[in-house]
Every structure is written in C-alpha cells, then in structure tokens.
Chain A
Amino acid sequence: MKKMIWLTIITVLFLVLIAPLVLSLALKIIPSNVQPSYDSNVRVSLYKDRELTQEFIANNNNLTSIGTSIRNPNLKNKKDVIFNLYENNILIRTSKLNGLNLEDGSFVRYDFPPIHDSLGKKYTFTISSPDAGAEETIELFIRDADSSSGIVEYMYLGEIKAGGIPMVQYYLPINKAEVLKSVLSNFSARFLFHRSQI
C-alpha cells in the first residue's frame, strides 16, 4: 500500500510541477502577443494580383514567424499562399503555405529564419496567392490598428487604411532558461494575484 501512496504523490507532483516544466522546455518559439480579436465579417480576398500589404513594428528581437487566421472557403484554394517580408522595400524573407494545408478559418504560421535585430523595426509584408483564380480565393480577417501586436496599417487594392490582419509575432528565445523564466513569471503573476486566493 505504501508503494501506491508514493506512486500517487509522485504522479500528482509530476502532473502539476514536472509536466509544465517539460512543456516549457519544449517551446521552440514564443509569441510576443496574444492574437487580437477581430470581426469575422470584415475580410479581404486574395487571388491573382489581389494581395494584402501590411506594415507592422516588431516587438522583439529574433522575429521568426508571423501567425494569423485565414479562410479558405470550401477548401477550394490548393495553390501556394505566399508571404514576403520586406525591410525598407528590400525582400528579406519568403515563406509559402499550400492551400491544401489551409483549413477554413484555421490559424496558420509563416515561419522564416530569425531576424536577430528586429526589435522596434518597421517591416512590411505581403500575402498573396497569385496562381489562384477568382473561385479559389483566400480570405484574411481585418481589424483596427493595435499597438500590442504591432499592427499599424495595410494596403489592399491600392487603398491604405489603418489596421491590418489580427497577427501574432513569434520570436526565437535566446535560450531555454529565458522561456522557463517567462512561463513561470507569467504563471506566478496570475496565481499570486490577490483575487485568485480563496
């Protein structure tokens, strides 16, 4: 019976202490913001030469990925959906996803090699699906400008407006200790918040 008591204690401690630590160490990239909310009725369509251009400010160094929600109505788009990242109008990164892998309404990430000194810099990206026809459109959700996620302005059909896609920036952590520290400090801030106590 003693064995079962010890096994139970060890299992519970593993579940509530060790497993979260292991998961923290398994994180390869870290988001710098939570995806901002958006109105699902406000969207732009991408196909042929209809592309979206957006400007944003990087929140951290080592920017390595941009994520957003994409619609692929009736999963009709089976063409490449291309992400190009520019700095001062110079193409610095390119990433592609195929429509075959884009579930309608899913959150997708465009990964690229990290930009080490990205913090505070202004970048522009385009998202396009030039091989898609009018019946194979990809749709992007649009929201207002949002400083916490770095959303500044976007251009669509030659028109410039404040706002952009509800994007999440991801960066490559310097080391695992940094990740662990961030997870623990965020968790403890919530757990030790005065109202969380009974």
Chain B
Amino acid sequence: MKIKLLILAVVLRLLVSAFIFHPDIKTFNFQSQFLKRGVLNIYTYLETNKSNLSIKDEFVYFPLTYFTLGGYQAIVSPFLGNEFVTWLNNADSNAFTLDPNIFKYLIILKLPYLICDFAIAFLLLKYFDDKKLGKKAFTLWLFNPFTIYYIYAFGNVDIFPVAITLLSLILVKSNKLKLAALSLGIAAGFKLYPLLFVPFLLLKGKDIKEKFLLGFIPFLTFGLISLPFISQAFIKSTLISGLTTRIFNPGFDVGFGESIIVGLSLFAALFYAAWLIDKKLNVFKYWLAILLIIFSFSHFHIAWLLWIAPLAPFVVILSIKKSYLSYPLFYLAIIVTIIPLLYQDRSMSISLYRIYSIWFDLIPTPFTLIQKFFDPYNLQSILHSLFAGGAGVIVYRVFKSEKLIR
C-alpha cells in the first residue's frame, strides 16, 4: 500500500479520535490513573475509596486493561500536562467536555488504539499466503468506516483483546496451538470473551493430552492474571458483567421456571458439530459463528462489534471470490451498527457530539424521535431479527466454502 494511503488512514483515525467523544474513555482512564500512584488492585481500591472519588463507577475490565492503560498513562503524562489529572477527576460533564485541552487528551489517550489497529492490519497481511489476498485484507481493515467508528468514536479498549485474539488465529494457522491457547488466555486477561473460543481450539488437539492442554492453558493463563485480584469487588465488577449476564439471557420458557437459552443452545450445537461431524476443523469458521450467535441473540454493546471486525476481512475476501456476498455482508454491517444507535442511551448517538456543543443535549435521541410515530423497541427487534437471519446465511456460506478459507 502506498505511503499516502497509510497517512490517509492515520489522518481519518485522528479526526474521529479528536472530535467524537464517548465519556467511557474518560471513566476508565480516571480509574487507570491510580496505577501511577502505586495502586495495583484497582477493584478493591475503588470499592474502599468510593465515597472519596469523584467518579464512582466500577472498573469492569480485567486486570491487563488496567495495567495497559495505567502504564501508558504513566509514560505519556508529561505530554498530557498538569491539568490532565484535574480533567480526569472532574465529574462535571459540561466542564470536562468544554475543556479546550480535550482534543489533545483524546488524541493521546487513543494513540494505543491506533497502534493496535495497525498491528491488526499487519497481522491480516501476514495471515494470507497469497500476497494479493493479504493486501486486500490489509486495505479492507484500514479502509472501512465500521472499525474506525467502533474503535475511535467509542474509545474502545476491546481493541487490545481483539488484536491478541487475531494473533491467536494466526498461530492456529501456523499450527502453534499451545501458543494460540496462551494468546487466548492473555486476551481474556483484558476481556473475557476470547474464552468462548477455547472449546473449538481444544478440538484441534491430536490426542487427549494435547486437547487437555489446549483447554487448560487459556484458563490457567487467565487464572494467573486474575488470581491476585480475586475479591468480592473483582467478581462484582468483572465476572457479573454485561457479557456473562446478557449472553445467558433466557430465550423461551419450557415451564416450571426453566427456559432454553438460545445463544447457549446454538453454542452447544456448534461445539457438538465440531466434535462429532467436522473432520477438518477450521477454528476461524467456528469463532465467526460464535460471535454472530452472540450478536444475533443478545442485547449487545456497540463496542462488542469490534470482536468480529478482524474476522470480517476474511469473509470479505470470500465475498471477493464470491462477489454476490459483498453487498449482503455490507448491509448486515450497517444494520448491526444502527441497532445500538436506537438504544435509549444518549451516549450512543447525540452525546458523541457534545464536544462540538453541549447544546446538543437539547436534541432528542433517535429513540425519542422514533417514539413519536413507532415503537423504537419494535424497530430494534425488527433490525435485530433481520440481522440474525442474515447472519445465519453468512455462517452457512462460510461453512460451505472449504477451499476459500483455511
């Protein structure tokens, strides 16, 4: 790719970084600042000092996110300036949004995302044996509006586990299965979702011993990362998080208080299919299917969509060879991106633009606007159902394409 295009890719990312602001990035950087003050266990620290802190939210990520963000903040603090700490500790949303330094803060705080973002592009380039395909995947990653929006508009820390999970996929392809398992465990040290892929990785093991190791290594790694922090505060903040509660959301009632959890049932079906039917197990297909199941059958956060993004170029490559797939895939991406915009949550839509003017607080959200002539929940359900149906067909096509994706 020409250097001009690389520069363009960086400039586009910096524009979104500086001008679109989701307050979550301030919250978890507020929490991560305590690392440079010597706080190692952020979970108990926040719980113990809640009454004295200006922002009282829990730290919902796993320890590696805290250490990565906190470590980075310590390194760049000379560039952030003396007023940065005051800004972090300011809980007045009008005051911190109107601070003229906010543009500088946002660009600096989002720089690690830029590094991970480009690392993912280069991992994709490396993944494909066919250099042409590699270049296509590289370009598709850097030039698609979806990932730029998911990463930089929302200050999405999920970029760290996403990059490591992709590395794991590359290691699987190179048949370095134990290292792939280790990568999944490390990725889970940032956020829990990569552990969902472990059951499919362990099936790649040649014998019982290897299968056991492939299943054990990620959990051991994750355990070693988490163990020093195990406490009631840690469990409350992280393990009872959105993912675990939403993914196991009951589907339909079977009577006497029991219900079938749709996402979990499909997960189990995929696992059994991989175990009992699939003779040439390709983890990529299963990982993609698992993520599509999660997004199809749970109330997802827009940040989660980044999990599937590095897998999307593979599917697009498939769609380049089977060109009839590219437009359906694009429409599905639009639908799944629109759904969170319709949530009754200002920070998903209008509030992203408060940096331009806090007067935008006077503008009704898409949810409120739609409410005037249609039930917004119903519209969300319609779009979600359309996505689920389309995603099912994409999974079917991917599973049918034996030679195109290895």
| Chain A interface residues (CB < 8 Å from chain B) | 1, 4-5, 7-9, 11-12, 15-16, 19-20, 23-24, 26-31, 34-35, 37, 170, 183, 186-187, 190-191, 193, 195-198
Q: Which of B107, B136, B148, B357 sits near A187, CB closer than 8 Å?
A: B357
CA distance A33 to B104 in the complex (A): 26
**Complexed CA–CA distance, A30 and B5 (Å):** 41
Identify which of B19, B139, B350, B357 gathers the most chain A CB atoms within 10 Å of its CB.
B357
Measured in the bound complex, the distance between the Cα atoms of B355 and A5 in whole Å is: 27
- The binding surface of chain B is classed by DSSP as helix
Which residues of B are found within 8 Å of A196, using beta-carbon distances? 100-104
Task: Tell which of B46-54, B260-268, B358-366 binds the partner.
Answer: B358-366
Q: Which of B8-16, B198-206, B290-298, B299-307 contacts A (4 or more CB under 8 A)?
A: B8-16
Contact A24 B20 (CB under 8 A): no
Per the bound structure, the CA–CA distance linking A121 and B109 in Å amounts to: 46
Q: Within the complex, what minimum Cβ distance (angstroms) separates B143 from chain A?
A: 4
Question: Could you tell me the distance between the alpha carbons of A193 and B102 in the complex, rounded to whole angstroms?
Answer: 11
Q: Is the CB of A9 within 8 A of B8?
A: yes
Would A4 and B101 count as touching, CB distance under 8 A?
A: no
Cross-chain contact A187 with B359 (CB below 8 angstroms): no
Chain B residues closer than 8 Å to A23, beta-carbon distance: 350, 353, 356-357, 360, 363
Residues of A within 8 A of B20 (CB): 15-16
Whole-angstrom distance between the alpha carbons of A12 and B16 in the complex? Answer: 7
CB-defined contacts of B350 to chain A, threshold 8 Å? 23
Distance from B328 Cβ to chain A, minimum over Cβ atoms (Å): 16
In the complex, the chain B residue whose C-beta lies closest to that of A24 is B357
**Residue ranges of B at the interface with A (Cβ–Cβ < 8 Å):** 5, 8, 12, 15-16, 19-20, 79, 81, 83, 92, 94, 98-104, 107-108, 136, 139-140, 143-145, 148-149, 153, 350, 353, 355-360, 362-363
Which of B20, B79, B107, B359 has the most chain A CB atoms closer than 10 A to its own CB? B359
Going nearest first, the 6 A-B pairs with the smallest beta carbon separation are A11-B145, A193-B100, A20-B356, A196-B100, A190-B100, A8-B143
Q: Is the CB of A4 within 8 A of B144?
A: yes
Are B100 and A15 closer than 8 Å at their CB atoms? no
B300 to chain A, nearest CB (A): 21
**Would A186 and B148 count as touching, CB distance under 8 A?**
no
* Bound Cα distance A5, B7 (Å): 13
Cβ-defined contact, B357 with A186, below 8 A: yes
> Among the interface residues B153, B355, B356, which one has the most CB atoms of the partner chain A within 10 A?
B356
A198, B143: Cα distance in complex, Å: 26
Are the C-beta atoms of B357 and A198 separated by less than 8 Å? no
CA distance A12 to B12 in the complex (A): 6
- Given A191-B100, A195-B101, verify A183-B356 contact (CB < 8 Å): yes
* Interface of A: prevailing SS: helix
Which B residue sits closest to A194, measured CB to CB? B100
Interface centre among A7, A15, A30, A193 (most CB of B within 10 A): A15
Verify A34–B363 contact, CB threshold 8 A. Answer: no
Q: Which residues of B contact A187 (CB under 8 A)?
A: 355-357
Using Cβ atoms and an 8 Å threshold, which residues of chain A touch B140? 1, 4
Closest chain B CB from A67 CB (angstroms) = 9
29 sampled A-B residue pairs with Cβ under 8 A: A1-B136, A1-B140, A4-B143, A5-B139, A7-B144, A8-B144, A8-B145, A8-B148, A9-B8, A11-B148, A11-B149, A12-B16, A16-B19, A20-B356, A23-B350, A23-B353, A24-B357, A27-B362, A28-B362, A30-B359, A170-B362, A183-B359, A187-B357, A190-B100, A193-B100, A195-B81, A195-B104, A196-B101, A196-B102
Cα separation A31 to B19 with both chains bound (whole Å): 22
In the complex where A23-B353, A190-B98, A195-B101 touch, is A31 in contact with B12 (Cβ < 8 A)? no
Chain A neighbourhood of B139, CB < 8 A: 1, 4-5
The answer to whether A191 and B103 have CB atoms under 8 Å apart is: yes
Q: How far is the CA of A11 from the CA of B143 in the complex (A)?
A: 11
For the complex, what is the distance from the CA of A198 to the CA of B79, rounded to whole Å? 8
Complex Cα–Cα for A16 and B148 (A):
12
Name the contact of A20 in the complex, choosing from B102, B148, B353 (C-beta under 8 A): B353
* Chain B residues, Cβ within 8 Å of A1: 136, 139-140, 143
B363 in contact with A12 (CB, 8 Å): no
- Measured between beta carbons, the chain B residues less than 8 angstroms from A195 are 81, 83, 100-101, 104
Q: Give which listed residue, A9, A34, A193, contacts B358 with CB less than 8 A.
A: A34
Cβ contact within 8 Å between A31 and B353: no
Considering the complex, give the chain A residue whose CB is closest to the CB of B5: A5
Closest to B108 in A: A198
Residues of B within 8 Å of A26, CB to CB, are 363
Please name all residues of chain B whose beta carbon is closer than 8 Å to the beta carbon of A27 when the two chains form the complex. Answer: 359-360, 362-363
For B145, give the chain A residue with the smallest CB separation. A11
